A = this chain, B = another copy of it.
Amino acid sequence: MYQRKIPIDYECGLSVAMEVVGSKWKFCLLDEISKGIKRPRDLVNAINGITKRVLQKQLSELELHGLLSKTIYPEVPLRVEYFLTPSGESLLPLISAVDQWGMGFASQLKVILEGKDSEI
């Protein structure tokens, strides 16, 4: 995600993984695309809080890293559809696992953060 000085430790799986999917929205993007939302514009609408610029950047990174690919339909207006490569698909079980873990953890986090808020 912003690791360029300690180039990337190819021996460390976590380092590699963080490099590729360590940005805020990448799991979400892969998830949404796997669900069939393929066009940039639809993704902006589907994902709460992402902006066009960031979406564009992260899509291109995912594409560069070989997790995503796209098809360009030379229509007017232009249409582009992203889809998961095999590498991207290999990540889906992990995303699902992370999502489920997060669901299970949500209640705990809620209590913790709201407790903190009330201390103000």
Contacts and interface: CB of A to CB of B under 8 A. Distances in A.
Contacts of A44: none
Interface in A79-120: 87, 90-91, 93-95, 97-110, 112-113, 116
Contact of A49 (B3, B22, B102, B106): B3
Copies of this subunit = 2
Size class of the A contact interface (CB-based, 8 Å): 35 or more
Contacts of A12: 99, 102
B94 A108 contact: no
Contacts of A31: 14
A61 to B, nearest CB: 11
Interface in A4-62: 5-6, 8-20, 22, 24, 27-28, 31, 48-49
Given A9-B48, A14-B102, A90-B101, 4 more contacts: A13-B102, A18-B24, A19-B109, A65-B109
